[in-house]
Amino acid sequence: MNHYGLRIRDYWARVNPESFQQVEDPEVFFGEMGETMLTQVDALVPQLMGPTPADETFLQRVGRENAVRKQAEEIVWDDLVFVRPSTTPEEDREEWASTGSPVALLVEWADRVQDPETRQYEPSADSVAAEWLLPESFLNEMVASADPYRFVETDQAKVVLRQSEDARYRMFLESRANEE
């Protein structure tokens, strides 16, 4: 087993012990993965190296080759070896929500639309409705309210915002499934 196979074996044992335990013959399996990684890295290095500059010294070339090999290893590692941690649907949803647009952005938009000086620079209600998958009437009510921050705290608004979030999450899942 080459050094890549050893690294892969140790990595799997550490981050994916359930899958590691299911490997019937670890020596063969990780040996083959190590050979595959070596082959792919060796094939990628010349592509990443490109032509040698005319004024490049021997030491510069060695340094560039070492840097390119590390880059190739990272690329192949990510494609071949890296184990994405398994998550529950609830954890996926929570992660999606934490990277999405918080409701505060929507409220700030409504606040700026209420201000005659900034209104003209803001996107229209129909474009915001399309982006957030919200009824335009909901946005119009928010803008017409005395305080958009309190408006989104009402039970009715929470229901509509939750429906919007659910719809946007479904769209996210569909787009992710289409990518795979």
pLDDT digits (tens, 9 = 90+) for 160-175: 999 999 898 888 888 8
Same domain, yes or no: 154 and 120 = yes
- The total number of structural domains in the chain stands at 2
So what's the pLDDT on residue 174? 86
Same domain, yes or no: 31 and 71 = yes
Q: Is the pTM of this model over 0.85?
A: no
Q: Which of 81, 111, 142 is at the close of a domain?
A: 81
Same domain, yes or no: 93 and 37 = no
Q: Which of 55, 81, 107 is at the close of a domain?
A: 81
Same domain, yes or no: 103 and 148 = yes
Angle in degrees, 0-180, between the axes of helices 89-99 and 155-179, rounded to the nearest 10: 110
Percent of the chain whose pLDDT exceeds 90: 67
Distance CA 143, CA 137 (A): 10
Same domain, yes or no: 122 and 171 = yes
Same domain, yes or no: 110 and 75 = no
Q: For the chain, how big is the Rg over CA atoms in Å?
A: 26
Q: Which of 11, 46, 81 is at the close of a domain?
A: 81
Full residue range of the structural domain in which residue 19 is found: 3-81
Same domain, yes or no: 77 and 97 = no
Distance CA 162, CA 75 (A): 39
pLDDT, tens digit (0-9, with 9 covering 90-100), for 22-56: 999 999 999 999 999 999 999 999 999 989 999 99
Q: Which two tokens stand for residue 70?
A: 């590390």
Q: Is the pLDDT of residue 78 over 90?
A: no
87 vs 16, 93, 95, 125, CA distance in Å? 13, 10, 10, 36
Same domain, yes or no: 65 and 106 = no
Same domain, yes or no: 95 and 139 = yes
Same domain, yes or no: 56 and 105 = no
Percent of the chain whose pLDDT exceeds 70: 96
